[in-house]
Amino acid sequence: MAEKARLLWDFRGPAAAQTAAHHVIHLDEFFEREAFPCYDTGVLEQSPMWQAAFAIVDLNDAQKLREILKPHRGQRITEGS
């Protein structure tokens, strides 16, 4: 099983939820257009004023995607996290 990484983009403020959801649309478009494997995208609610858009990718692709997409942070993940 390939190791995976979660790339995260943080959004804060009263419009954080809407901004993060909109960012996910662009992430989905990118992964479809560029044919990079992506296991999941979505929004994590940290608090009502702090939301994070995320993409789960192969750890081997994470560095290249980091250079292209400029996430705010990233996490190595294990199955089920």
pLDDT at residue number 1: 61
Region 2-20 average pLDDT: 96
49 φ/ψ angles, rounded to the nearest 5 degrees = -105, 10
Sign of CA dihedral 45, 46, 51, 55: negative
- pTM for the model stands at 0.92
Domain of 11? 4-77
Please tell me the distance from the alpha carbon of residue 28 to that of residue 50, in angstroms, as a whole number: 21
Query: What are the tokens at 9?
Result: 């983009």
- Percent of the chain surpassing pLDDT 70: 96
Domain count, the chain: 1
Q: What is the pLDDT of residues 16-54, one digit of tens each?
A: 999 999 999 999 999 999 999 999 999 999 999 999 999
The domain spanning residue 53 has which CATH number? Answer: 3.30.70
pLDDT greater than 70 at residue 57: yes
pLDDT at residue number 2: 78
